[in-house]
């Protein structure tokens, strides 16, 4: 049961995930969370560095879909200017939004990786549904109300992983 919360890989930020690394793993598509994965939860638009990351993915034929539990206004106002497909109110870790994203990208789930900053939504949802998963350190030190509760639970799970030697993890403060 605990293994469902264990990410396949963990990185400091989204920028450590390159098209070359994904292609080496036969990954052709990315399902990524939005808030605290791509940008801070309260930042309305993509940063120039993130816009460049999206462009590199596209140049290399890697499809990206944003799958977020947030509302339509938040997710569409971020995604539409970038012309990035998105799914809002995804109800992660449930599988419906993940399956819809894969279908919309025209890929098999073995060709898609789920990237996010939360064990309880992104990693659990990705693992439960048979995807490769990558956990990123949250971009912001603060969270919305629901996420704050999730983080408390996640810290306990992380402590178990660390104690068992299953995960080496660095928090934002250790950067």
For the domain that residue 159 is a member of, what is the CATH number?
3.40.50.1000
In this structure, is residue 146 part of a structural domain?
A: yes
In this structure, is residue 175 part of a structural domain?
A: no
> What is the pLDDT at residue 173?
42
Report percent pLDDT > 90 for the chain: 75
In this structure, is residue 128 part of a structural domain?
A: yes
State pLDDT tens for residues 150-159: 888 888 888 8
> What is the value of pTM for the model shown?
0.89
Question: Which tokens hold the place of 76?
Answer: 């569409």
In this structure, is residue 42 part of a structural domain?
A: yes
> What is the pLDDT at residue 145?
67
> What is the pLDDT at residue 150?
81
> What is the pLDDT at residue 144?
66
What DSSP state is assigned to residue 18? -
The residue ranges of the chain whose pLDDT is under 50 are 172-175
Q: Give the total number of structural domains in the chain.
A: 1
CA distances, 74 to each of 35, 37, 86 (Å): 10, 14, 11
Helical (H) or strand (E) element with 31: strand 29-32
Q: Kindly report whether the peptide bond that precedes residue 93 is cis, defined as omega within 30 degrees of 0.
A: yes
Q: Residue 87 is part of which domain span?
A: 2-168
The span from the CA of 153 to the CA of 87, in Å, is 25
């Amino acid at each position: 049961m605990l293994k469902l919360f264990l990410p396949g890989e963990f990185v400091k930020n989204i920028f450590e995930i390159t098209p070359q690394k994904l292609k080496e793993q036969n990954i052709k598509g990315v399902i990524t969370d939005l808030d605290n994965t791509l940008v801070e939860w309260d930042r309305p638009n993509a940063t120039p560095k993130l816009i460049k990351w999206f462009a590199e993915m596209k140049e290399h034929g890697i499809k990206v879909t944003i799958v977020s539990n947030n509302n339509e206004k938040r997710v569409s106002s971020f995604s539409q200017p970038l012309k990035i497909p998105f799914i809002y109110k995804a109800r992660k870790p449930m599988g419906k939004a993940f399956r819809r994203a894969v279908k919309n990208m025209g890929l098999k789930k073995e060709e898609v990786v789920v990237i996010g900053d939360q064990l309880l939504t992104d990693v659990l949802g990705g693992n439960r549904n048979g995807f490769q998963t990558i956990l990123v350190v949250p971009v912001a030190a603060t969270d919305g109300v629901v996420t704050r509760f999730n983080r408390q639970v996640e810290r306990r799970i992380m402590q178990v992983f660390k104690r068992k030697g299953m995960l080496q993890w660095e928090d934002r403060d250790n950067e």
